[in-house]
A and B are shown apart, each in its own frame.
Chain A
Amino acid sequence: MVTTDLSTQPAPTQPPAPTSGKPRVVKDSRAYRSFRFVNAFVLIVVCGLVLYPFVNIVAQAFSSEGAINSGSVNLVPRGFNLTTFQVVLGDDMFWRNYRNTVVYTVVATAIAMALTTTYAYALSRRGLKGRKFFIGAAVATMFFNGGLIPNYVLISELGLRNTIWAIVLPNAISVFNLLVMKSFFENFPSELEEAAAIDGMTTYGVFFRVVLPLSKAVVATMLLFYAVSFWNAWFGAFLYMDDPRLYPVTMYLRNLLAGVTSGTSIQGGSTDNLTQIAANVQSVTMLLTVLPIICLYPFIQRYFVSGVMLGAVKQ
């Protein structure tokens, strides 16, 4: 098992790694120099293509419907106005659904963290009898799962439809996150735990007062993994919720896209006039939905990357 330093960036040093400043022994060939130029150019274009849709959303969100309908909105807002924001923010259902998203995310993340950390900690104890079996029980579900319909029937039979539990329970343990945490706990210095045990701490004390406080990095990473996935989720609500007042905001947006709320057919993109008018509302809703993630993104991105790396070490 290799330990990775969480703080290191995935950015590797260059393979040839010429120390800057010193004269280089071998000069780059002309072909390679032109390649580097093209390479940098292509990467800039890639970044532009990745960012463009976001810029477009912002531009549409602040544009007038007339400008959108005439097809003149791309990079900057045309006919700047905030009326759509007022419409969306004035919609009680939007606020209700937004609040639902926050509640679902918080509750689901709390449950997921409780189950994942405890399970991962128990699995990381090499002396635990039956450890292999308990690991296998989790890993097997990565490759075999019940499938859509049996899950749907189960949730319905358990009477969880139209309750928060239908959303927060079924995805409480992500096996990937579990394995990441397990390998982290396995590399936890056992001297600390032994010292705490000698001082008379029970397993509970060791876990809650020694191990967890010293595992903030991996706990934060897992927290973010779960929180983002629950924030983005929509399908559980789509399947199990009949009452629009229980929807998360992603379902609010989905119904806008599908044209459900504007009374058109169930599918999006059919009558271009209505969807085009809706495009303005859609852009505003999309912007408000992704806003928390975009705002947090610069700070959380590093944690995600380190989490993926930690998981990769397992392989």
Chain B
Amino acid sequence: MSSVQEPVVAGVAPPGAPPPVGVAENAPPPVGTKPPRQPRRRRNQEWTTPGGVVVRPPRTTWRQALKRDWRLYSFLVLPLLFLLVFRYLPILGNVVAFRRFRPGSSIFGDEWVGLYYVRMFINDQQFWHAFTNTVVLGLLTLVIVFPLPIILALMLNELRSRRFKRSVQTISYLPHFMSVVIVAGIVFQLTSVNGTINQIITSLGGDAVTFMQEPSWFRTIYLSSEVWQTVGWGTILYLAALTTIDDQLYEASRIDGANRWQQTWHITLPGIRPTMVVLLILNIGTFMAVGFEKILLLQNPLIYSTADVISTYLYRVGIVSNSVSYATAIGLFEALIGVTLVLSANAISRKTVGASLW
């Protein structure tokens, strides 16, 4: 297998000998009539050394590759079939956004209806309501949930006791492993009328609040649960990045009289900036899909005014009310915004800070 990586010396080619198999179309001209070779040769083009040795670059035809590596290709069959059926077919299935879909018709729908469904959601008040909620929740997540792991990682980095540090890490990673259903259960339990939060409120002399029925509380509750679940796990990559910062930088800065705060600001933060940027771009990519499963579990009709987001709205439209095409159109719109956001965030960061996903 590894022999493919190096150029294969095909042997001395006597004039007039049949060219090596598989490179017939690029067969070298007879030695005598050879034009002077250009110094730059294209990749994957065979060439002849001054000694007349034909060097075949690692180019193989599909037939050869299959013949040699068929066992390796057999490993690819099932995974590719999986990707085709469960990943690429649904992408194509998005055409039903522009076609009428009836129960029982094929996954690509029956007949073209153009932008009918797009026009429909553009004029849908409820959609724009969900859209606004999505943007608000997404922005709040970026502003509040995204920076907290950085702060926690910096705080952990200041600890000198390794055992203490490891304990904090172990404890704070735990919520990451909980099912979203468990998280929703915990939220219901803590915010219920007799739950812990109301116990605190009433012991301070306040009145119990029915948190899950008040639209004004939903965003706070959602963000808190999000912080609880992700803040610890989010530190892993930052802690890894912190270990790569050169100690000499800190020593030099101390000699120059920098205090801890200045060291953090001028050495530590720039040191983890590439990690921050990459994670920020990835976060922006999931901006529109804000915690769909969790919101679906937490929301109820009383708090739709703040808790209904695009993904839950299209779930209700498409699966509960069965308007497949309409919901697909909304989903496609959401996905396009997501892709646009990732691509532009990536382009901006490449231009400004020089870090990007690809």
Contact = CB atoms under 8 A, between A and B. Distances in A.
Interface string B286-329: 00000001000101111000000001001100110000100110
Nearest to A36: B158
B157 A272 contact: no
Contacts of A289: 179, 181-182
Given A46-B168, A50-B232, A143-B285, A71 B202 contact: yes
A32 B79 CA distance: 55
A150 B72 contact: no
B128 interface: no
Nearest to A70: B194
Interface in A11-41: 11-17, 26, 29, 31-32, 35-36, 39-40
A126 to B, nearest CB: 6
B171 interface: yes
A134 B179 contact: no
A195 B24 CA distance: 33
Q: Could you tell me the dominant secondary structure of chain B's interface residues?
A: helix
Q: At the interface, is chain A mostly helix, strand, loop or mixed?
A: helix
A212 to B, nearest CB: 12
A50 B228 contact: yes
A89 interface: no
Contact count band on B: 35 or more
A148 B97 CA distance: 13
B86 A56 contact: no
A159 interface: no
Contact of B199 (A13, A71, A250, A312): A71
A220 interface: no
A282 B185 contact: yes
B58 interface: yes
A309 B301 contact: no
Nearest to A157: B107
Q: What band does the interface of chain A fall in when counting residues whose beta carbon is under 8 Å from B? A: 35 or more
Given A40-B159, A312-B237, 10 more contacts: A36-B160, A56-B189, A71-B194, A146-B93, A148-B314, A149-B327, A151-B93, A258-B297, A268-B184, A268-B297
Interface of B: 1-5, 58, 60, 62, 65, 69, 71-73, 75-76, 78-80, 82-83, 85-94, 96, 101, 106-107, 152, 155-160, 162, 164-175, 177-182, 184-186, 188-196, 198-199, 202, 210, 212-213, 228, 231-232, 236-237, 239-240, 242-243, 245, 247, 250-251, 254, 259-260, 263, 267-268, 278, 285, 293, 297, 299-302, 311, 314-315, 318-319, 324, 327-328, 331-332, 334-335, 339, 342, 357
